[in-house]
């Protein structure tokens, strides 16, 4: 009698329904990475009794501060119920690293880009261009900060102080999440909250990740070990990817050009990309 190993594997999958869910997080948070969809998927993974562990497959430069923190909270909720492994495949910077801090364990590809722990607020100032065009803007507002960040005027000292206050407040929340997840002392926190990025190997030395994983199988093995499973049967979760997304067409699955496209472009432009 000839044994069919593939048939044995299929039978094992049917007999044992326990799975490791794999959730890809691709692109800018608030751009290609749709926050509401990801939070919904994380909730389903937390409630699904078949899912015994979760693997976050991350390649993202981060994104909106509020959305990143919301994903961090959603990941922590899953990790409170079952093991979560965050694997940084290519880039895990800024808000993407923020959400990874909610996981049970963080792994990185050796040459992945990790870090960028910081907050930035960017806006154009078009007052000189409008003046040259002979254009003026009339504003009626109820408070001095109602048009904070408006591009049609130069910021005042009070505007700059208020914007700095907001940036610092978000930064403190980010730092608190990193400190709690990585258990770093003040000196170590000071070294990693400069806004710079590191390779995965350097991030390991700095305590930003727990280990290195060169492929998805190694990351799944870590999730399997944490969950105490005898196998590592993956269950792909998240929005179904279109054919254009699978072949890597830029902007595929993001809908018509709009705010998401701008966020995606800004996110990748602000994060170092390594090429060889």
Domain 14-116+196-276 grouped into CATH 3.30.870.10: no
- 236 vs 163: CA distance, rounded Å: 41
**For residues 158, 164, 166 and 170, what is the CA-based torsion angle, rounded to 10 degrees?**
180
- Domain boundaries of the chain, sorted by first residue: 14-116+196-276, 118-184
> What span, in angstroms and rounded, lies between the C-alpha atoms of 188 and 212?
20
Q: Tell me the percentage of the chain whose pLDDT exceeds 70.
A: 81
- Name the residue among 135, 90, 140, 94 with its Cα closest to residue 111: 90
User: For the segment 207-261, what is each residue's pLDDT rounded down to a tens digit?
Assistant: 999 999 999 999 999 999 999 999 999 999 987 665 655 555 555 555 555 555 5
Residue 275 predicted with pLDDT over 70: no
Give pLDDT tens digits for 37-75: 999 999 999 999 999 999 999 999 998 899 999 999 999
What pLDDT is stored for residue 1 in this prediction? 41
- The whole-number pLDDT of residue 184 equals 94
Query: What is the distance between the alpha carbons of residues 60 and 236, in angstroms, rounded to a whole number?
Result: 18
């Amino acid at each position: 009698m000839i044994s069919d190993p593939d048939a044995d594997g299929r039978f094992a999958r049917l007999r044992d329904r326990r799975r490791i869910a794999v959730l890809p997080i691709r692109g800018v948070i608030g751009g290609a990475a749709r926050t509401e969809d990801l939070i919904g998927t994380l909730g389903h993974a937390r409630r699904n009794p078949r899912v015994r562990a979760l693997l976050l497959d991350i390649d993202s430069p981060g994104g909106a501060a509020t959305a990143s923190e919301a994903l961090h909270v959603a990941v922590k909720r899953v990790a409170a119920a079952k093991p979560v492994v965050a694997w940084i495949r290519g880039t895990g910077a800024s808000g993407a690293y923020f959400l990874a801090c909610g996981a049970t364990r963080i792994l990185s590809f050796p040459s992945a880009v990790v870090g960028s722990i910081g907050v930035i607020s960017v806006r154009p100032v078009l007052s000189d261009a409008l003046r040259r065009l002979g254009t003026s803007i009339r504003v009626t507002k109820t408070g001095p900060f109602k048009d904070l960040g408006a591009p049609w005027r130069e910021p005042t000292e009070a505007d700059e102080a208020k914007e700095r206050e907001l940036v610092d407040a978000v930064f403190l929340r980010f730092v608190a999440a990193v400190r709690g997840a990585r258990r770093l002392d003040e000196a170590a926190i000071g070294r990693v909250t400069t806004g710079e990025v590191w390779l995965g190997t350097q991030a390991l030395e700095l305590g930003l990740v727990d280990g290195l994983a060169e492929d998805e199988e190694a990351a799944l093995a870590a999730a399997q070990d944490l969950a105490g499973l005898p196998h590592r049967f993956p269950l792909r979760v998240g929005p179904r990817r279109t054919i254009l997304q699978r072949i890597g067409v830029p902007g595929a699955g993001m809908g018509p050009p709009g705010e998401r496209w701008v966020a995606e472009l800004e996110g990748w432009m602000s994060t170092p990309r390594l090429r060889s």
